[in-house]
Amino acid sequence: MFPRIKIWLLTLATVVCLPVLAEAHAILEESQPPLGGTVKAGAVDLHLRFNSRIDRGRSRLTLIRPDHTRDTVSIAPDGPPDIIDAHVNLTPGAYVVRWQVLAVDGHITRGDVPIIVAAP
Ligand SMILES: [Cu+2]
């Protein structure tokens, strides 16, 4: 009788947890600068916070410059597991910060944060 209850509980737990796991891929919850935000030229801190933990080593930040050239931006190696931090030096113009992250559920998500860099 006892093992049967255990199996039943395990099954129930699986059924309850699956939808939660399926939703666990990373969604951008907060970004600094914000989407469409304006910052002053010079040293700019990029700060992206997600709804779940991400695998920093398998995540990527790409900076698309006003002339459409692209650079991979190195992600700061430490900090909370749901946050990506990076530091860039920017001249005035319209940029896009393109993020691609791997969440703990194994799903990759990506998105763009357009920002405007104004003369200091
Ligand atoms: Cu997912």
How confident is the model at residue 16, as a pLDDT? Answer: 47
Question: What distance in angstroms lies between residue 33's CA and the mean position of ligand 1's atoms?
Answer: 25
- Tokens found for residue 38: 């304006």
Mean per-residue pLDDT for 50-74? 96
Architecture of domain 25-118: Sandwich (2.60)
Global pTM reads 0.79
Give 91-102 pLDDT, tens digit per residue: 999 999 999 999
Question: What distance in angstroms lies between residue 114's CA and the mean position of ligand 1's atoms?
Answer: 24
How confident is the model at residue 83, as a pLDDT? Answer: 97
Residue 8, pLDDT > 50, answer yes
> Is residue 84 a contact partner of residue 109, using CB atoms and an 8 Å limit?
no
Q: For residue 52, which of 86, 77, 29, 78 has the smallest C-alpha distance? A: 29
Mean per-residue pLDDT for 10-16? 51
Residue 67, pLDDT > 50, answer yes
Q: For residue 92, which of 74, 68, 71, 116 has the smallest C-alpha distance? A: 116
> Is residue 92 a contact partner of residue 39, using CB atoms and an 8 Å limit?
no
Question: What distance in angstroms lies between residue 16's CA and the mean position of ligand 1's atoms?
Answer: 16
